[in-house]
Structure formats: C-alpha cells, structure tokens
C-alpha cells in the first residue's frame, strides 16, 4: 500500500493512503553521545526518541538545547555554540513531559537521573609564516584545550599543490597529552617567496561521528512497551508523513542559513586582504601572507562549512524521497 506524501504546488495539500504504524509506550531514553567534540562542531546524542517532542526536550548543562539539525527515533544531532572547553552534561527537561504541550501523555516519562557527559575541545593553531615564505620547513603547532588525554587527530592537507605536510596529505597523528597537549607537524611551501594560493589543512578527531547502535534502540522499545495499531484512516496516520517532510525541510533551511553565513564571513575575511595589494611585489606578498593567516585562523570554520554542506545534501535527498516516494 502506498504511504502518504504531500502533493506540492497547490493551494491545499492532498495525501495518498498511508500504512498503519506501531505506537510504543516505552519511555524516552538517553544512552550515550559523541564523547568529544571540537567547539561548535556537531554533537550526536544516542537513545530512544519516539517523537519530535522528545527530541526537543534535552538540556545542556541545565539549559534548553538549540533546535536539532537532525533527528530520528535513535539519535539527535545538535551543533551547540560557544561552549567552553571541558566537560558538559546532557539531561532531560523533565517538567516538559508533564505539561499540556506533551502530545503523548500516556507514554512513560524518562528518568530524571539519566545523564550523559561529553568533552568540548578548543584548538589554538599557529605557524611561522616568515619561514614558510622563505622556503624553510616550519612547524604547524596545534594546542588542544579541554583535555590532558592523548588524542588521535585526523589531518588532511586539502591544498597539496601549495604546501607539503610531513606524514602525507591524509594522516592520523597523536597529541603529546598532558597539560600542554600539543600536536606538531612539519610544513613547507611548494614555492619560495610567495604561495600560489591560500593553503588549508582540515582536522578532526579520529572517532566515529555518531556512536549510536540501532539494535540497542530496538531492545529498548521492547522493554515495558505496549503496542497498538491505529485505524488506517486516523488523523494521526494521515498527517504523519506531512510532519516528517516538513521537519526535514525545516532542518535543511536552518543549516542553509548557517552555511551561507560561514561562507560569507570567510569570503569577506579573504577580501579584506586585498587592501595590501598596491600593485607591487611587496604588496602582493603582504596580501598573500594575510590570506594565509586567515586560512590558518579559520581552519575550524572551513571544516564546519564542509560538514554542513554534506549534511545539507543528505537532507535534500531525504526531502526529495519523502515528497516523491511510492
């Protein structure tokens, strides 16, 4: 039987007949989350989230989390902003489940004692640009703030025609650990005196981006749950596909705004270096040095923009499938 889907481009929205669905009364749960993230990177929270209401009732250090950028019954993805380095806690907004806004009042409440922790890391990156310009080998130095543990970091030189990164264009390197938790790698420019273009080195933690295990969620739903099947023509059944598609579109629109802002900020920063170019060789060298400094200072922003674009493409594909499925 065909599932419901909205028919776009008309004054009203029509729906095709939809499949019945199972409705479990098991309580929402928190299981784990991404153990460590860099500042302003995505955080994946694993558990059981039976509906959009439960996915929006998470607290970060006792405060409401921002709107999820993605979500399903077994995970929720957030991009928390401006967190200080160190440990942070995810928990439930328990009072919300007892409010009249709860669309599922018969469902069991989550446990107030459920808490999961993660660490936020900051990076201070530096490089000797004078040595780079003179053709000498120099250190790319990345200091990790937020943990004293040794970390596995994935590095990717996305501009191999501009610079050489010791160890290869793609590699996994380990920080030194301790109070001064530093990662060093040798870098050398391909040309002496002036770089052909700004260089870029991406970095990320060598960890799975999302540690969720779907089989655990299935086990959770089977514990203490009661299952009923609503009538095929119920209002909830007819409207669910439309809500699903609208939620995907809302997530895509939110990400596109964030992505456009990042791109605009980076472009303006690079264009600000043009003021050094007075038509002389020295002026062009100063302009290029400025661009390199901005590229290093914005390593995190460039990597975040790439991740946002990848997620936007996934959401766009999901929305097209939602609105034009069988």
What is the rounded CA–CA span in Å between residue 313 and residue 259? 12
Both structure tokens of 148: 């004293």
168 phi and psi angles, rounded to 5 deg: 110, 160
Residues in contact with 60: Cβ distance below 8 Å, sequence separation at least 6, in sequence order: 78, 80, 83, 88, 89, 90
Query: Helix 281-297 vs helix 299-323: angle between axes, to the nearest 10 degrees?
Result: 60
pLDDT bin (cut points 50, 70, 90) of residue 1 is very low
pLDDT of 143 over the 90 cut: yes
Inter-residue contact 256 to 249 (CB < 8 Å):
no
pLDDT bin (cut points 50, 70, 90) of residue 243 is low
pLDDT of 88 over the 90 cut: yes
Query: Helix 235-271 vs helix 299-323: angle between axes, to the nearest 10 degrees?
Result: 150
DSSP-assigned letters across all residues of 99-125? STT-S-TTSPPPPTT-EEEEEEEEEEE
pLDDT of 240 over the 80 cut: no
Antiparallel, parallel or unpaired: β 29-33 and 43-48: antiparallel
Can you give the pLDDT at residue 242?
55
Q: What is the pTM of this model?
A: 0.56
Lowest mean pLDDT among 75-89, 156-170, 238-252, 303-317: 238-252
**Torsion of Cα atoms, 255 then 257 then 258 then 261, to 10°:** 150
pLDDT of 62 over the 90 cut: yes
Inter-residue contact 162 to 142 (CB < 8 Å):
no
Mean model confidence pLDDT for the chain: 76
pLDDT bin (cut points 50, 70, 90) of residue 323 is low
Can you give the pLDDT at residue 114?
93
Percent of the chain scored above 70 by pLDDT? Answer: 75
Q: What are the tens digits of pLDDT across the range 247-302?
A: 777 777 777 777 777 777 777 888 888 888 888 888 888 888 887 777 767 766 76
What is the rounded CA–CA span in Å between residue 121 and residue 36? 7
The residue-averaged pLDDT of 4-32 equals: 50
43: part of which helix (H) or strand (E)?
strand 43-48
Can you give the pLDDT at residue 21?
33
The residue-averaged pLDDT of 167-179 equals: 92
**Torsion of Cα atoms, 256 then 319 then 242 then 326, to 10°:** 170
Return the higher-pLDDT residue of 34 and 162.
34
Q: What are the tens digits of pLDDT across the range 100-116?
A: 677 777 778 898 999 99
pLDDT of 220 over the 60 cut: no
Can you give the pLDDT at residue 24?
40
Greatest mean pLDDT range, 10-19, 65-74, 85-94, 272-281: 85-94
pLDDT of 91 over the 90 cut: yes
pLDDT of 210 over the 70 cut: yes
pLDDT bin (cut points 50, 70, 90) of residue 18 is very low
Can you give the pLDDT at residue 199?
78
């Amino acid at each position: 039987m065909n599932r419901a889907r909205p028919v776009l481009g008309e004054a009203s929205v029509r729906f095709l007949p939809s499949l019945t669905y199972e409705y479990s009364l098991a309580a929402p749960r928190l299981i784990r989350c991404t153990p460590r993230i860099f500042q302003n990177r995505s955080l994946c929270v694993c558990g059981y989230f039976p509906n959009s209401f439960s996915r929006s009732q998470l607290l970060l250090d006792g405060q409401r989390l921002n709107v999820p950028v993605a979500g399903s019954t077994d995970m929720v993805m957030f991009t928390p902003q401006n967190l200080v380095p160190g440990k942070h806690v995810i928990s439930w907004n328990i009072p919300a489940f007892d409010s009249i806004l709860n669309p599922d009042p018969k469902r069991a409440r989550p446990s107030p004692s459920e808490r999961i922790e993660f660490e936020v890391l900051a990076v201070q990156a530096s490089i000797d640009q004078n040595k780079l310009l003179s053709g000498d080998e120099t250190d790319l130095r990345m200091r990790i703030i937020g943990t004293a543990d040794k970390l596995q970091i994935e590095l990717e030189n996305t501009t191999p025609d501009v610079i050489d990164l010791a160890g290869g264009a793609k590699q996994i390197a380990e920080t030194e650990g301790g109070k001064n938790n530093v990662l060093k790698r040798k870098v050398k420019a391909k040309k002496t005196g002036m770089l052909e273009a700004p260089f870029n080195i991406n970095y990320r933690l060598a960890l799975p981006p999302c540690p969720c295990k779907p089989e655990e969620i299935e086990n959770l739903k089977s514990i203490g749950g009661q299952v009923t099947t609503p009538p095929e023509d119920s209002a909830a059944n007819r409207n669910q596909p439309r809500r699903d598609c609208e939620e995907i579109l809302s997530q895509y629109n939110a990400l596109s705004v964030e992505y456009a802002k990042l791109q605009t900020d980076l472009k303006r920063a690079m264009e600000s270096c043009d003021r050094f170019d007075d038509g002389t060789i020295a002026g062009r060298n100063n302009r290029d040095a400025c661009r390199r400094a901005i590229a290093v200072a914005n390593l995190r922003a460039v990597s975040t923009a790439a991740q946002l674009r990848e997620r936007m493409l996934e959401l766009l594909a999901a929305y097209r499938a939602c609105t034009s499925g069988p």
